[in-house]
Amino acid sequence: MRSQRQVVDYSLQKRAVLREVHSGRVGTHEVCDASPYLKNAARFHGEPTETLCPVCRRENLTHVHYIYGDELKQSAGQARTRAELSVLAMTLREFQVYVVEVCRGCDWNHLVEQFLLGRDGLSADDSVGAAEPVAGAAVAVSTGTSVRRRREARR
Ligand SMILES: [Zn+2]
């Protein structure tokens, strides 16, 4: 999505957990603990992937997108499909998305990434009105810097 920004990737943490599991230091029951809510979200709002589950290697992973933010009001904390995220990204200024991978076979689950979506992230070409105050602020900052530099030079 075009307005996606401030992406935080959790693949390092995930690899660390999987290393512990594969070495036997952590039992699969400790990491394969998807709640009934998460499993329902995967079933009704999840996006199928082509990636095989790293724990049971029998089922493909499902990605669930959870949304958070003040503008969402009662929808905050709910799961949404990618199509629904696209619509929200065009109507709301900013909201947080958490992507969780779930195996519907063995209940493995882990945070994949988080990022921001919303109109605030669109460039000037996409949304001229929304980008104007940002451009104005940048001009003010650079003017202030040049004034200060001139004063320092005079000293
Ligand atoms: Zn699995």
Quote the ligand 1 centre to 55 CA distance (angstroms).
Answer: 5
Q: If 0-12 CB within 10 Å is exposed, 13-18 middle and 19+ buried, where does residue 55 land?
A: buried
Q: Any idea what the Cα angle at residue 131 is, between residues 149 and 133, rounded to 5°?
A: 50
Quote the ligand 1 centre to 28 CA distance (angstroms).
Answer: 10
| Burial call 85-116: b when 16+ CB within 10 Å, e when fewer | beebbbebebbbbbbbbbbbebbbbbbbbbbb
Q: What is the pLDDT of residues 65-109, one digit of tens each?
A: 999 999 999 999 999 999 999 999 999 999 999 999 999 999 999
> In which residue are the tokens 């036997």 written?
24
Q: What is the pLDDT of residues 112-128, one digit of tens each?
A: 999 999 999 876 555 44
What protein residues have CB closer than 5 angstroms to ion ligand 1? 53, 55-56, 103, 105-106, 108
Quote the ligand 1 centre to 32 CA distance (angstroms).
Answer: 8
Quote the ligand 1 centre to 153 CA distance (angstroms).
Answer: 66
Q: How far apart are CA 143 and CA 155, in angstroms?
A: 19
